[in-house]
Structure 1
């Protein structure tokens, strides 16, 4: 069973909390490809948030290819090969293009990434 929660005391908006928790559940393998997610209304009721909060999280996840909506059948974790890896690859490609346009060397670009990863762990 998917365990999500929203903490109103956090600075992070509720939709972003939901979004990151769902991504975390997928990358942690507690949500697998094809798993059905609760309806917007059901999850909103369960968490005590507005349906628009859940809808926004789902909309952003769908835009990123992490989940897919199949009309009345519901919302599911995407069957794409690996939506999280694909999203990370897109971010890496955008980063590479940006550092190239700034004239940053490959070694410096890699150092910047390593520093950023250490800072966020």
Structure 2
């Protein structure tokens, strides 16, 4: 499994960081349907978190239908998350704010677009829960 990282200084609760990263890995196919996840105890140990924190993440993702836990098979990816219907609106609002800032700075359109592309390529885009 791709490495999950928890940043204690990020201001985001550790359970939320783990949840968001798992959703991202599932959405991008890095964790395909049927992929087995580590046990709660193993992932908690690897991340330096309590078992309860990881159990909360697994429970939430199981309730959302993304994971399935069976005693014999452990926890596996059950489905790819559906797109968030509010994501388009949130993205449009963020884009409008970005354009406003770019224009206030006097940045040309092509330079603003290049800045976004560089941010994606450099991996400076934070993973969200959507």
Structure 1-normalised TM-score? 0.70
- Say whether 1:84 aligns with 2:81: yes
* 1:1-121 → structure 2 map (5 Å cutoff): 1-78=1-78, 80=79, 83-85=80-82, 88=83, 92=85, 114-120=88-94
- C-alpha RMSD of matched pairs (Å): 2.0
Structure 2: gaps spanning 5 or more residues: 96-130
User: Alpha-carbon deviations, 1:53-91, whole Å to 9, x = none?
Assistant: 10001111001001110124200000x4xx412xx3xx5
1:10 aligned counterpart, secondary structure: coil
**Cα offset, 1:120, TM superposition:** 4.7
Off by >6 Å, runs of 4+ in structure 1:
none
Length, aligned pairs only: 95
Structure whose residues are more often helix by fraction: 1
Which structure has more RCO (C-alpha within 8 Å, separation ≥ 6)?
A: 2
